[in-house]
Structure 1
């Protein structure tokens, strides 16, 4: 004779009893794919850039800034060319 299933512990819950989905609740959520935790954000770089303090002539700095967004990247490329370094 088959055994009866126990009831009570895995009883149906009304969906209206579910916790409210707030921003705080979602901020603590974990994202998983195939059981592996997926980290949010950009993955760490193998060779990250370093912040330095550099004193430049005002006209040099103004000329690079005048080229618009990405001026620091262009300055980095110009320094690589001047020192004949391979692209990173």
Structure 2
């Protein structure tokens, strides 16, 4: 197994010194400093592989929203799963 690098190892070979306060104060956002490169690097999302969902505005009872939000991230997908099961069971 390879021995992990220590801070002393990193300090001994570092060719990237810490920035000074003056350098940090004069820093500009990447897209402002190099706009052409930033534009080239911008990612564009391709077509979705799975069928897309339809954005809709619906009104839900507060207790329904509270319940699903309390389950954490992905609550909207879980709500969608419950509604799909309902549709399947009631066809």
Question: What is the TM-score normalised by the length of structure 1?
Answer: 0.53
* In structure 2, C-alpha distance between the alignment counterparts of 1:28 and 1:64, rounded to whole Å: 39
Equivalent in the alignment of 2:61: 57
Coordinate RMSD, CA, aligned: 2.4
More strand by share: 1
> How many pairs align?
56
* In structure 2, C-alpha distance between the alignment counterparts of 1:82 and 1:71, rounded to whole Å: 17
Segments of 4+ in structure 1 off by > 6 A? none
Q: Which runs of 5+ in 1 are unaligned?
A: 1-21, 31-38
Picking from 22, 26, 40, the partner of 1:29 is: 40
Higher-Rg structure is 1
* In structure 1, C-alpha distance between the alignment counterparts of 2:34 and 2:75, rounded to whole Å: 36
Picking from 42, 45, 57, the partner of 1:42 is: 45
